[in-house]
Amino acid sequence: MVELEAGLIGLRGDTGEELWRYPASDDEDVGAEISADGTHAVVRSIADDAEPTAVLLDTTTGAIVQEVIGWDGQSLLVDDERQVRRHFDGDGLLVEVADLVEGQALWGQEEPASCTAGGLSRQVSSIVHPAAIVLVVYCADDVSEGALYSPSQQATHALVALDPGSGEELWRYESTEEDTEGFLPDPEVARFGDVLVARFPGVSDHLLFDIVDGDLVAESPGPVLDVTEETYLARGGQEGDSSYELRGFDGQVLYSVAADPVDAVVALDEGMVRVRMERGPDGDPIDAEVTLWEEGEGTVVETGLVVESASRSEPGRLLRVPGAVLLYPPVAPATGADEIGHIVALQ
């Protein structure tokens, strides 16, 4: 699925064939959101001098499932029935789950989740999954905005998973550090499908959790870059180690190849694909580099993708879809671009 100024378009990954399109008129401002389980999308449009309208689509067919829904344009979709609203204020983040059609709240937090040891707590962020809403929680004597990055106080960092249907706690993981060194876990918590990867202060490894039940499925000595059904791709754990390692969840290193550090990378059964862009003037090509595990040497695939405003620090993104790996430029204020104008699909 690709979000356009005029709506959404669904494409086959292996051929690029257009499967469906949900258009809006030229005088409408359009926004879209994909559900956490990927099965539905909501499209909200605002025409001149008119109230916003939103429809729910089936992402397989593009068919309209619900004509009128109560989506505000900012909530995150859990599935075709529920949305997660996030409220940020001076005391941190609170979440509530509302009915998608009527917009009525089903349940909501009145205060941040606490840590086992008690004390003050502050929710930093949240990750939405069909089976759990995972909160990143910071607990300390002082949890004010100014104290969050204080290097001197003892703090507990917690992952607290809530049931999207009831708000009841499903599981949690906590880690206490005597000296936080001004570090919050929020930038180092990421979701890869059903796996949550987190890095906590005082814990040397990157931890991989099953989002559904909270089981610790793996511990990686180096940063985790991608996760598949049975493996994960990580950087080498030793300082100065430039290798990429494909590991099983049991920690066994299946393959290891040496290559320059690049964060935009995806793992495949046969090898890995990375973004390759020369750090020259604007207008340089954004290519892909394919490295087969058995051979260990990268081969550059020229894609013909050139973006004038590509970021030097983040030249492009990779995404696995059925039948292909997509390469596209990042859409971010740092690049000066506000839309994706060119996508390359690699076999």
Query: Per residue in 27-36, is it b (16+ CB within 10 Å) or e — as a string?
Result: ebebebbbbb
- List, for residues 212-266, the tens digit of each pLDDT value: 999 999 999 989 999 999 999 998 866 666 789 999 999 899 999 988 877 789 9
Kindly give, in sequence order, each residue whose CB lies less than 8 Å from that of residue 108, ignoring residues fewer than 6 positions away.
Answer: 85, 94, 95, 96, 97, 167
Pairing of strands 243-248, 231-235: antiparallel
Distance between CA atoms of 126 and 113, rounded to whole angstroms? 12
Angstrom distance (rounded) from CA 150 to CA 291:
42
Is residue 45 very low, low, confident or very high in pLDDT (cuts 50, 70, 90)?
A: confident
For residues 90 and 134, the answer to whether their CB atoms sit within 8 Å is no
The answer for residues whose C-beta is within 8 angstroms of residue 153's C-beta and 6 or more apart is 140, 141, 142, 147, 180
Higher pLDDT, 340 or 5: 5
Strands 271-277 and 285-292: antiparallel
> Residue 25 pLDDT > 80, yes or no?
no
**pLDDT tens digit sequence for 70-90:** 888 889 999 999 999 999 987
d(CA 307, CA 289): 18
Q: Which residues pair with 99 in a beta bridge?
A: 82
Using CA atoms, how far apart are residues 157 and 137, in angstroms rounded to an integer?
6
Q: Can you spell out the DSSP letters for 282-330? A: TT-EEEEEEEETTT--EEEEEEEEE-TT--SS---EEEEETTEEEEE--
Residue whose pair of structure tokens reads 């100024």 in the numeric block: 5
Burial class of 79 by CB neighbour count within 10 A (0 to 12, 13 to 18, 19+)? middle
Give the confidence band of 153 by pLDDT, cuts at 50, 70, 90: confident
pTM to 2 decimals? 0.89
Highest-pLDDT range among 142-156, 199-213, 333-347: 199-213
**What is the predicted pLDDT for the residue at 312?**
61
pLDDT one-digit tens code per residue, 304-319: 887 766 666 667 789 9
Who has greater pLDDT, 334 or 28? 28
Number of Cβ within 10 Å of residue 110's Cβ equals 6
Residue 91, pLDDT score: 79
Higher pLDDT, 100 or 153: 100
